[in-house]
Structure 1
Amino acid sequence: MNKLSRHSDPILQPNPENDWEKEAVFNGSIIKEKGGYYLLYRAMSSPKDHDGKQLSLSSIGCAQGKDGIKFSQRKQLIRSEYGWEKYGCEDPRVTKIDGLFYIFYTGLSDYPPTPTGIKVCLAISKDLKTIQEKHLITPFNAKAAALFPKKINGKYALIITVNTDIPPAKIAIALFDKIEEIWSLEFWHKWYQNLENQTISVERINTDQVEVGTVPLETEKGWLVFYGHIQNYYQEQKRIFGIEALLLDRDDPRKIIGRTQDPLLIPEKDYEIEGIVKNVIFPSGAIVKNKKLYLYYGAGDTVCALAFGNIEDILKNTHNNPIKKVYKLKKYHQNPILFPDPNHAWKSKAVFNAAAIYLNNRFYLIYRALSNDNTSTLGCAVSTNGFKFEHLSNEPIYVPRIVLEQKIRANAFSGCEDPRITRLENKYYMFYTAFNGLNLPRVVMSTILVENFAKHHWLWSEPQLTSLEGVHNKNACVFPEKIAGKYVLFHRTGGSEIAIDFTDKLDFSSTNSLQNEGTISPRPGLWDSKKIGIAGPPIKTPKCWLLIYHGVSEIDDQYRLGLMLLDLKNPLKILYRSRYPILEATELYEKEGLVKNVVFSCGSVLSGKTLYIYYGGADKVICVATADIDEIISNY
């Protein structure tokens, strides 16, 4: 992706002679008129007493220039007048349509600011000298709204950022038959109730924060919008404020047809790194002159800055990015589907991380159950539809049997953990983690006849240790069929990589222990940078093996799920690996539990075209997400 080049210095700086813009001037929105260029910007006063509060009051200024770079004739255009903007007017975005200037901005009705007191407002001007009307726009928390500069299919279109201060924020589109509907609170109440269908999926990962930047630019390829994409938003010391771009369909701006893969700009210059707010840049205005992009942005929440780029290169690279929308699994709306049971001690603390089986038109979950003294056993639940499960037994179906699974210290974690189950001919092969709370975990295998499983006769074979002593190993399974005459096994050695082994037999009673004949490694800088491991056994499709896997980030230690597509004849050959996670902790039942911010899967079921992925939420409950198998494969 071609990066932007900066103008040598900020183009607008605080003016010590005007108290209303003495502290800061930033986030400038540009518009071209016959007389030249107008830059509307957020101005902050020197600290003052305002309605009994000590604050730097924000208002909106307007400056004029002839070349889009040098500006003068600065004046205050919009200031606080009504209750919904009592404590400031921030971050304007100006559009001219139907002969009038529509200036959307953020109004603050509380101080210190609260989410309910941060809303979108509108000022209407006929000449950018005076304001004829003002309106409160949103009855809910929102910022960063911009009106498209022309109607789309006969409708006015607004791009807006919702829930900016109760994240995750969502970028959304609103369409209006009449301009007056924009300030109809009745319209917005109905619109907000259907928010999910109004949003465009911009964020890539659950720790991103996104916000609309510029008024959309009309191009031959589509509507080009520059926006703020903040990585690692919830960790202040690790935040990266980046400027990125979206290309929206000309006839349906709810559809992303192109986007940047990486930031066009991040804080690097002194005036971006230092300021009232450090390490912040934010896009706020854009125009094109002779195929040259002029991108206006706020730097350090203190000055207005300018960067340049070749518009054709930006459009080309944005349009050519193969990832238009980050694919996510669909979470079941009634998650979680299984909870701990305080009436049964062996599963009173948690039920999670379930293997999955589909047998005789029924879904089975063989789940890890945790008692209050932290002993792990395995239970079983059954369903006819994959969503509503009932426990099969009031007792575990599998309990610790070997020394390595026995508890050594009171209340230490021990037992049989995180099963994965594969059917080979007339047997189910279960691999799980054995742990005694002291020694390194090892992989164990036990089998059961399909016939006995169907009858709920829990006649498991003697457990066999399959991994080497003294080697941290877990997350194991066997492929559901041989490849080139050999069994293929996944596991994880050393605590970070997926290991692959090939063996002639599934008998580990002697020296046939798991080794490490091939590996798949974490990826530096991405969501799976710290460690990875398989979810459930891979699923065979006509073109490839589909492997769901978990990854942990070095930045935030969150567990997320991704996918790989492996060659049918050589599973060491990765055909595709998801750049972004397909499932992550976004719901309370995934974010709060025994371990925060964890989604962890040990199994899935393919029934017809629907893939059911079962996963543990925060190491406490069991959940399910679904995907269309053709869609999940075709996305890559």
Structure 2
Amino acid sequence: MAEVLSARGNANGVATSQGLPNIPWQDRPAGSKAVVWRHRENPVIPRAPQPGVQGVYNSAVTPFGDGFAGVFRLEKTDRFPRLHVGWSEDGLDWQLEPEPVVFSNWKDDPSHYAYDPRVTAIDGEYIVQWCGGHNGPTISLARTKDFRTFERLENAFLPFNRNGVLFPRKINGAYYMFSRPSDNGHTPFGDIYLSESPNLIHWGRHRLVMRKGGDHVGQWWQRTKIGAGPVPIETPEGWLMIYHGVIDTCNGFVYSMGAALLDLDEPWRVLYRTNQHVLTPEADYEVSGHVPNVVFPVTALCDQPTGRLAIYYGAADTCTALAYANLSELVEFTKANSAVF
């Protein structure tokens, strides 16, 4: 299935249209007023989809050819995080490559872990971003056109950093990428920054975008840290950034989903930001797992003509789940329930 192309892709399978009519979709449950609702058959990738695999989660999905490709955080029984490619015709039934991604130009160090990837289609290719181990966690990058051969780029930042998310187009001639400067653990920092690059190699002009919440703003659901999630979606109202917010409770961290709208030309400028989560751990597969109480959004596929959003998220650091929203409804909810700080 990975070799098949369609009118949505160019000769390399890179998406060239805003229409994605074949993304997964289920209507909002009858009687529900939720702005984001769960796929009824969650999780779409279960706890152990293959022998010897203990978890597939916090993983990136993108349209490719007639179907979808993805780069997945996969952990076997050694629990060491590695990147694996996956293929799907419908975005629901996934075939995962048994061997991890290999970089054609990079002598791999088996001690260098890789987790929480994102994939951005830009400039006729796919750029993979992930948290890589290089004297501590930092933002690693690679490029591919076919999800078979990957060329490693230089790491974007010094340690310690997480949640690198690249915008889907240049803005005023420059690439932009979110990150969250951090430490080697979980974490005295917790704010989202934006960095600029002319070439995906040299990064600078680091700007603060959003701070974590707390008592001073009455935002406990995101009081410990926040981090960018899926690739931002361009709308007439601004860049829609779906993100995670974390609270530290007496029983550990709780990761929830929120949303923000950023200025189209100055994406470090926040226009609106949800003052409440739009999805929080409640389902069994979100509450119970290797790391309980985690909803970690990573991919948002949008069919622009219908406004349908399919949001992939990691659940309890164990499995991959799916939720849905309507783009215009989520934008309006963010504007109507906003606290910018």
TM range (shorter): 0.7 to 0.9
1:78-89 paired onto structure 2 within 5 Å: none
Superposed displacement of residue 198, structure 1: 6.9
8 Å CA contact retained: 1:337, 1:623:
yes
Counterpart code for 2:61: A
Match of 1:339 among 39, 43, 46: 46
SS at match of 2:126: strand
Deviations 1:377-430 (A, max 9, x none): 2223333433x22215333345899789633xxxxxx61101111111211111
Tell whether 2:178 aligns with 1:490: yes
State the one-letter code of the partner of 1:564: A
- What is the DSSP-based 3-state SS (H/G/I as helix, E as strand, rest coil) of the residue aligned with 2:310? strand
- Unpaired segments of 5 or more residues in structure 1? 1-195, 202-326, 408-413
Query: Counterparts of 1:447 and 1:400 in 2: how far apart (Å)?
Result: 11
Q: Contact between 1:501 and 1:518, CA under 8 Å: does it hold in 2? A: no
Local SS of the residue matching 1:633: helix
Secondary structure in structure 1 of the residue aligned to 2:77: coil
The 3 A distance-change label for structure 1 pair 446 and 631 is same
Q: Distance in 2 between matches of 1:592 and 1:546?
A: 29
Aligned residue for 1:461? 151
- 3-state DSSP of counterpart to 1:349: strand
* Equivalences for residues 113-128 of structure 1 within 5 A: none
Aligned pairs for 1:346-495 within 5 A? 348-386=53-91, 388-398=92-102, 406-407=110-111, 415-435=113-133, 439-449=135-145, 452-453=146-147, 458-468=148-158, 471-494=159-182, 495=189
Deviation readout 1:39-61 (Å, 9 max, x if unpaired): xxxxxxxxxxxxxxxxxxxxxxx
Q: Structure 1 residues 550, 342: closer, same or farther in 2, change over 3 A?
A: closer
**Aligned mates of 1:538, 1:198 — CA distance in 2:** 30
Aligned-partner Cα distance in 2 for 1:522–1:336: 29
2:206 match: secondary structure:
coil
2:10 — aligned with what? none
Match of 1:297 in 2: none
Preserved CA contact (<8 Å) 1:404 1:434: no
Q: Which of 192, 214, 222 is residue 524 of structure 1 equivalent to?
A: 214
Q: Distance in 1 between matches of 2:121 and 2:210?
A: 24
* Matched AA of 2:296: F
1:620: which partner in 2? 318
Q: Secondary structure at the match of 1:582?
A: coil
Q: Distance in 1 between matches of 2:63 and 2:294?
A: 25
Residue 588, structure 1, aligned to residue 302, structure 2: no
Which residue of 515, 534, 537 corresponds with 2:231?
537
Q: Is the 8 A contact 1:478 1:488 kept in 2?
A: yes
User: In structure 2, how many angstroms separate the alpha carbons of the residues matched to 1:594 and 1:400?
Assistant: 33
Is 2:43–2:320's contact at 8 Å kept on the other side of the alignment?
yes
How many pairs does the alignment contain?
A: 292
User: 1:625 corresponds to which letter in structure 2?
Assistant: A
CA gap of 1:356–1:428, structure 2 versus 1, over 3 A, is same
Secondary structure of 1:370's counterpart equals strand
Cα distance, 1:362 vs structure 2: 1.7
The share of aligned pairs that are identical, in percent, is: 27
For residues 375 and 514 of structure 1, the distance between their equivalents in structure 2, rounded to whole angstroms, comes to 31
For residues 39 and 116 of structure 2, the distance between their equivalents in structure 1, rounded to whole angstroms, comes to: 22
Tell me the SS of whatever aligns to 2:280: coil
TM-score of the superposition, structure 1-length normalised?
0.43
CA shift at 1:373, angstroms?
Answer: 1.1
Structure 2 portions without partners, runs of 5+:
1-28, 183-188, 336-341
| RMSD, aligned CA | 2.5
- What does 1:94-243 align with in structure 2 at a 5 Å threshold? none
In structure 2, relative to structure 1, the CA distance for the partners of 1:536 and 1:630 (3 Å cut) is same
SS where residue 557 of structure 1 aligns?
strand
Once residues 66 and 45 of structure 2 are traced to their aligned partners in structure 1, the CA distance between those partners, rounded to angstroms, is 20
CA distance in 2 between partners of 1:461 and 1:418 (Å): 18
Contact 2:165–2:229 at 8 Å: present in 1 too?
no
SS of equivalent residue, structure 2 residue 328? helix
Please identify the structure whose Cα radius of gyration is greater: 1
Change in 2 beyond 3 A, CA 1:342/1:423: closer
Q: Is the 8 A contact 2:103 2:149 kept in 1?
A: no
Structure 1 counterpart of 2:332, one-letter code: S
SS at match of 2:142: strand
1:404–1:435 Cα contact (<8 Å) kept? no
Q: Contact (CA 8 Å) 1:567, 1:575: kept in 2 or not?
A: yes
Q: Secondary structure in 1 aligned to 2:329?
A: helix
Kindly tell me: are residues 577 and 342 of structure 1, through their superposed partners in 2, closer, same or farther at Cα, counting changes over 3 Å? closer
Counterpart among 293, 317, 331 of residue 633 in structure 1:
331
SS of the aligned residue for 1:589 comes to helix
Q: Does the CA-based 8 Å contact 2:286-2:293 persist in structure 1? A: yes
Distance of 1:564 and 1:624 partners within structure 2: 20
Other structure's SS at 2:78 match: coil
Q: Distance in 1 between matches of 2:206 and 2:230?
A: 19
Partner of 2:263: 567
Residue 273 of structure 2, aligned match among 577, 581, 584: 577
